[in-house]
Amino acid sequence: MTLDFSTAPLEGRARLDYWREVVCTTFVQYEMDVPQPTSAGFRGRVTAQTLGDLGVARVVSDPHTVFRSPTLIRRSGEDDLLVNLAVQGCVTVSQQERDAVLRPGDFTVYDSARPCRIVCADPFELLVLKVPRPLFDAHCPLARDAMATTVPGDHGVGALFAPFFHSLTAHSAGLSPDARARIGATLLDLLATALSERTDSGARLGVPRAAHMDRARRYIIDHIADPDLSPAMVARALGISVRYLHAIFRAEDTSPSRWILQQRIDRAAGLLADPGRAGRSVTDIAYAVGFKDASHFTRAFKDRHGFSPREYRRRLAG
């Protein structure tokens, strides 16, 4: 079902009060600054629909600014990611000391759980995609420092995402719920590809390869005890693609999986060498550093140190 909200039937102050209610109900709770309206009064229209669990809306409005302050975030408790795609006018989305200036066709992502500001200085038209965080993280994880980064709509995968998003808002209303849900999944996959293309270069987000490597290493060390730690998990946490993660480790003549294994073995060696942990079994230590299988731990440890874990412990003790 498509919902259509417009200030046109109202007059005077009632238009702004209604607009605030529409925006906060359709998207998330915002505070709002509106320039002095014209003699005709403030004009705004939102056409909203759903694609499975996604919210999709077209906004046509007079200039105004919306923002989410820390106080409002604590009070509202919403936790969604929002994609803004400019259709007409210029829109600036600011978050984490980063400004995404959107010209028609460009889009960006911002996090509703963090302070943000969206400035529309001129009359504008905007497409908005609202994605619940679990769904967003499952399809297109993004580095926290990449929010409010402009993805151009005139080249690369962004040039495919923008017209697809624009077209589905115009033509999906008559489709079945199942078809709409599948189209929503396709939209998310296309968004993930566009964001991956944007983050794969690293430098285009202002994050050099060395910084990505440092973050990856720190994440691995901090989560080494997690038996499910994997390259995919690391890439998702950093907001980069698995392919790019492999590329930055390949530049160091290793791979993410190999580096994870080395860190586990080195952590285990430290525990085996600690007299205070002499009472812990080798199997307990293997599990404590993220191994799922004791025999795998023994083989990997011997390959790296030349001795089995038990022999390594005996030699240090003796």
pLDDT, tens digit (0-9, with 9 covering 90-100), for 190-216: 898 888 776 554 444 445 567 778 888
φ, ψ dihedrals at 240, nearest 5°: -125, 165
DSSP class of residue 307? S
Condensed to tens digits (0 to 9), the pLDDT of residues 122-180 reads 999 999 999 998 888 877 765 555 788 889 998 888 899 999 999 988 888 788 888 88
Tell me the mean pLDDT in the region 286-303: 94
How much of the chain exceeds pLDDT 90, in percent?
58
User: What are 203-251's pLDDT values in tens digits?
Assistant: 444 455 677 788 889 899 999 999 999 999 998 887 778 888 888 898 8
Q: What is the pLDDT of residues 71-96, one digit of tens each?
A: 999 998 889 999 999 999 999 999 98
pLDDT for residue 282: 94
- Residue 147 pLDDT: 85
Handedness of CA 27, 29, 34, 39 (dihedral sign): positive
Contact 91, 124 (CB under 8 A): yes
Q: How confident is the model at residue 37 (pLDDT cuts 50, 70, 90)?
A: low
CB atoms closer than 10 angstroms to residue 285: 23
Q: Return the pLDDT at 127.
A: 97
* 5 — pLDDT class (breaks 50, 70, 90): very high
Average pLDDT along the chain: 88
Distances (CA, A) of 76 to 23, 25, 33, 209, 288: 14, 12, 19, 37, 39
